């Protein structure tokens, strides 16, 4: 059978597709803005036929109805990252969180830790050879499909076609459901004075020809504002957002000085608006690979002048970084933070930056603290930490004693908390 006949043969409604999922199965849902919305809606609608269906997902950008109160009979959510729509469920015990480095998630699927029964994915329409692209979410989504017993794909005409190792052939999909809804969009963040000050300090460490990894949110967006005068920047990043498109159009990001994948933006997922999705569509400058490749520290280290910029919730005076919980309350997850801090630190002339406002909760608490809150997770250890940046400056901790780290961190704390932190410092180092 040629691929067009296979496609027609496997084309079903969303309802029919999800009726093939058996109770007790582990279902992995396509990541972030790549979530197959019609399939997830159909899954939730079909709930009375399921008992104890495990839903594995990471950044959940959809409605996440499967974690709502009352759904426990049908679904159990295993979160690989906690976000707005799943936080309450995880912290109240209706869902679970599994910690782990992002680059290792495909191993969990492949090596028997989390065998995948069903992959629910969203892909582009097939090309003339019958290949659909994973588009905005390659990350763990392609590895989930590669390792699943059953692959159900939503083929969306709005999914861009990203190049790289980002394809699945129609013959490897068991059920196909057609959709034409717009992709989920993430609007650019509001950037205030604090973020601008942080962005400026971060940009001061970025030399012409550097390769960047940027996370999501106001701080990475603010950094991009201060890069307009730089030359020949490159991108090797877990994800990119709209700001990168502007810098490509302005000729700032050329990828020409990249030591690895020269000339290419390398990513594993995308999160932005239609502007970004149109930019990446069939664009030979952009290559998408599974997260097991992009985020592997051994891949990242092949870039020269690598700069990673991520954020956190708390830093203690030793430089231990908590990025994912407030005390025992799970706020997010490790994501690719440690993958990039390690890979960047191993790269020639790499700089691994953690950038954060000096305070949280409307200025009431300092993010620089003597001791992390009880129960807080150490996301990045004091052995891995490199640069910390707040709106008050830059603390370069690598290679420094605990005493000097503490002093440098107090210098970039909010002035309202410096005296208190200094008193705490004296208790530890007389
Ligand atoms: N004490 C009390 N509350 C705190 C706090 C602290 N130390 N730090 C943050 N908060 C509160 C904030 O006030 C905010 O509350 P609000 O929503 O009521 O305003 C909330 O926690 C979120 O904090 P904020 O810093 O605004 O979040 P953010 O959107 O900038 O994300 C991280 C910051 C750390 C959660 C996010 O970067 C993350 O998840 N990092 C780990 C994953 C990662 O680095 N991935 C790699 C790149 S994608």
Residues 292 and 355 in one domain: yes
220 lines ligand 1 (CB under 6 A): no
Domain with residue 222: its CATH number is 3.40.1080.20
316 lines ligand 1 (CB under 6 A): no
Asked if the structure places residue 184 within a domain, the reply is no
Asked if the structure places residue 370 within a domain, the reply is yes
Asked if the structure places residue 117 within a domain, the reply is yes
Average pLDDT over the chain, rounded to an integer: 97
Asked if the structure places residue 115 within a domain, the reply is yes
Query: What is the per-residue pLDDT across 310-359, written as a single tens digit (0 to 9) for each?
Result: 999 999 999 999 999 999 999 999 999 999 999 999 999 999 999 999 99
Cα separations in angstroms, 237 against 132, 149, 168, 344: 23, 30, 22, 11
Query: What is the per-residue pLDDT across 289-302, written as a single tens digit (0 to 9) for each?
Result: 999 999 999 999 99
Burial of 374 (0-12, 13-18, 19+ CB in 10 A): exposed
Range of the domain at 46: 3-179
Residues 249 and 323 in one domain: yes
Give the number of the atom of ligand 1 that is nearest the alpha carbon of residue 360.
13
Of the residues 154, 179, 204, the one at which a domain ends: 179
Query: What is the per-residue pLDDT across 140-180, written as a single tens digit (0 to 9) for each?
Result: 999 999 999 999 999 999 999 999 999 999 999 999 999 99
Residues 219 and 244 in one domain: yes
Residues 231 and 166 in one domain: no
Asked if the structure places residue 188 within a domain, the reply is no
Residues 424 and 358 in one domain: yes
324 is an active site residue: no
Q: What is the pLDDT of residue 378?
A: 98
Give the number of the atom of ligand 1 that is nearest the alpha carbon of residue 313.
8
Residues 136 and 270 in one domain: no
Query: What is the per-residue pLDDT across 88-140, written as a single tens digit (0 to 9) for each?
Result: 999 999 999 999 999 999 999 999 999 999 999 999 999 999 999 999 999 99
Asked if the structure places residue 228 within a domain, the reply is yes
Residues 50 and 85 in one domain: yes
Q: What is the pLDDT of residue 243?
A: 92
Residues 261 and 327 in one domain: yes
Give the number of the atom of ligand 1 that is nearest the alpha carbon of residue 216.
48
Of the residues 122, 145, 179, the one at which a domain ends: 179
Residues 156 and 205 in one domain: no
The catalytic residue among 35, 154, 195, 238 is 238
Residues 198 and 103 in one domain: no
* Mean pLDDT, rounded, for 73-85: 97
362 lines ligand 1 (CB under 6 A): no
Count of structural domains, the chain: 2
Query: What is the per-residue pLDDT across 258-284, written as a single tens digit (0 to 9) for each?
Result: 999 999 999 999 999 999 999 999 999
Asked if the structure places residue 81 within a domain, the reply is yes
Residues 209 and 94 in one domain: no
Domain with residue 120: its CATH number is 3.40.1080.10
Residues 163 and 263 in one domain: no
Asked if the structure places residue 186 within a domain, the reply is no
Of the residues 126, 147, 179, the one at which a domain ends: 179
């Amino acid at each position: 059978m040629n691929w067009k006949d296979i496609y027609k043969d496997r084309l079903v409604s969303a309802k029919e597709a999800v009726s093939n999922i058996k109770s007790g199965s582990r279902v992995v849902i396509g990541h972030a803005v790549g979530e197959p919305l019609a399939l997830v809606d159909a899954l939730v609608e079909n709930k009375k036929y399921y008992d104890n269906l495990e839903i594995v997902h990471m950044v959940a950008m959809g409605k996440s109805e499967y974690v709502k109160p009352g759904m426990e009979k049908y679904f159990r959510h295993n979160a690989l990252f906690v976000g707005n729509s799943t936080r309450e469920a995880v912290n109240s015990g209706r869902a679970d969180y599994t910690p782990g480095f992002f680059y290792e998630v495909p191993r969990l699927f492949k090596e028997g830790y989390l065998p995948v029964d069903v992959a629910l994915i969203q892909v582009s329409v097939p090309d003339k050879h019958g290949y659909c692209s994973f588009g905005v979410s390659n990350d763990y989504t392609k590895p989930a499909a590669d390792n699943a017993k059953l692959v159900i794909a939503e083929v969306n005409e709005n999914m861009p076609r990203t190049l790289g190792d980002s394809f699945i052939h129609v013959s490897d999909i068991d059920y196909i459901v057609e959709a034409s809804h717009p992709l989920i969009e993430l609007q650019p963040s509001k950037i205030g004075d604090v973020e601008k000050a942080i962005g400026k300090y971060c940009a001061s460490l970025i030399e012409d020809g550097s390769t960047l990894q940027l996370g999501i949110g106001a701080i990475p967006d603010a950094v991009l504002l201060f890069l307009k005068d730089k030359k020949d920047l490159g991108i090797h990043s877990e994800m990119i957002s709209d700001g990168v498109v502007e810098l490509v159009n302005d000729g700032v990001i050329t990828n020409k000085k990249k030591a690895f994948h020269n000339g290419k933006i390398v990513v594993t997922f995308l999160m932005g608006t239609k502007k970004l999705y149109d930019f990446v569509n069939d664009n030979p400058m952009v290559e998408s690979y599974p997260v097991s490749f992009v985020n592997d520290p051994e891949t990242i280290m092949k870039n020269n002048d690598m700069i990673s910029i991520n954020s956190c919730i708390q830093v203690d005076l030793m430089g231990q970084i908590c990025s994912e919980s407030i005390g025992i309350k799970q706020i997010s997850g490790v994501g690719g933070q440690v993958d990039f801090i390690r890979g960047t630190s191993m790269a020639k002339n790499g700089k691994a930056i953690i950038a954060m406002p000096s305070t949280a909760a409307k200025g009431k608490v300092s993010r620089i603290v003597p001791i992390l809150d009880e129960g807080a997770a150490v996301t990045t250890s004091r052995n891995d930490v490199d640069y910390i940046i707040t709106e008050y400056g830059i603390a370069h901790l690598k290679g420094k004693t605990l005493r000097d780290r503490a002093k440098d961190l107090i210098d970039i704390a909010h002035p309202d908390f410096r005296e208190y932190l200094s008193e705490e410092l004296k208790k530890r180092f007389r």
